[in-house]
Amino acid sequence: MSSIVGENIKVSVFGQSHSKAIGVVIDGLPAGLTIDMEELKAFMKRRAPGGKAYATARKEADVPEFLSGLVENTTCGAPLCAVIHNKDTRSSDYENLKNIPRPGHADYPAQIKFQGFQDVAGGGHFSGRLTAPLCVAGNICMQALRERGIQVAAHIYRIAHVQDRPANLTDLTQAELLKVREKEFPVLEDEKGEKMRQAIAQAKDELDSVGGIIECVITGVPAGVGSPMFAGVENRLAAAAFGVPAVKGIEFGNGFGCANLRGSQNNDSYEIQEGRVVTKTNHSGGVLGGISTGMPIVFRVAIKPTSSIAQEQDSIRMREMENAKLVVKGRHDPCIVPRAVPCVEAVAALTIYDMLCC
């Protein structure tokens, strides 16, 4: 089982949802990069479980402990290793999953692939819990990118049937979107956020869950980053985005919407503004031919409804090869979208930083 991403900055995530700890090793960081620990702590708090009506009741501080790679909060050139200790686990809730797989989860294919030796507690290595160390790596890369004038910010674009206002796709500063990080519920329009919360609450009351869409914008990336075909900006971002377990789809710029347009509507016309080349629109999402155009890189990811729901569901008993009913136990988010926003920012940051460090 390999959970490694990156070519120049290699990020390796390890651990399981209920193991003693989870963590990350980052190899290739340049020496001399000072990490703002308070910023990292605030970033991790955005993803951490507990304390919110729309999140799991599991409480974890998600404070990373750095074992190597730092000297007084500054990278020293050695591989950086950070661990996050798991403290609030209830493994007994998952004892029957090797025989009765949960619909929507990886239980069944994992049972086949790993022949029953996989850790099923909390979803094991397949759990969204593993996005915590991913966020450690992502925020470190975000801080490094900011020194180069590059910013990464995301917001909830949609939950269930409620849609937030789209980000300004031609905004080269995205100041408004950066302010969303300060909100408990990361939307541009708070009234839409309240309606989203109501949709989550309704699903929870009905022992169900809802999904949504996250929109992410990366500004400051110069033109010329990436390459055609298999190593383009879109390719690399998509591969990393699917490292967030709940992601089921991705689109850039107009995405699937461009299928309904003519070329005259979808093309981005060029112009000169203050001595630099820009496009009047940004339907391409800042990427053409796999290479950045200098405009904001914009993508959206679809987040599936949380698979663990409290309703009775149809499943099977694998050993007996017979049909069965299943009621999932444990503590789960009725909607994973709000906590996934920093995760999407994290994978975007580590991907772009890796591509710039060639």
Tens digit of pLDDT at every position of the chain (358 positions):
579 999 999 999 999 988 899 999 999 999 999 999 999 999 999 998 766 666 665 566 789 999 999 999 999 999 999 999 998 666 666 677 788 999 999 999 988 899 888 888 778 888 889 999 999 999 999 999 999 999 999 999 999 999 999 999 999 999 999 999 999 999 999 999 999 999 999 999 999 999 999 999 999 999 999 999 999 999 999 999 999 999 999 999 999 999 999 999 999 999 999 999 999 999 999 999 999 999 999 999 999 999 999 999 999 999 999 999 998 877 788 999 999 999 999 999 999 999 999 7
Q: What's 58's DSSP letter?
A: -
Angle between helices 37-47 and 131-146 (to 10 degrees): 140
Structure pTM? Answer: 0.94
Residue 125 is assigned to a ligand binding site: yes
306 is in an annotated binding site: yes
Is 127 among the annotated ligand-binding positions?
yes
Q: Domain range holding 201?
A: 4-356
Given this model, what pLDDT does residue 358 score? 73
- Report the CATH number at residue 126: 3.60.150.10
304 is in an annotated binding site: yes
- How many domains does one find in the chain? 1
Known binder of ligand: residue 289? yes
Write down the pLDDT at residue 97.
79
Confirm whether residue 305 is marked as ligand binding. yes
331 is in an annotated binding site: yes
Rg of the chain, C-alpha, whole Å: 21
Residue 285 CA to residue 304 CA, distance in Å, equals: 23
Find out whether 16 and 121 touch, Cβ atoms under 8 Å: yes
Query: Any binding-site annotation on 47?
Result: yes
> Positive or negative CA dihedral for 310, 116, 17, 217?
negative
Helical segments of 165-220, H only: 175-179, 190-205
Would you say 3 is a known binding-site residue? no
Give the single-character DSSP code of 19.
S
Would you state the pLDDT for residue 48?
85
User: Nearest 10 degrees: CA dihedral of 235, 239, 244, 247?
Assistant: 60
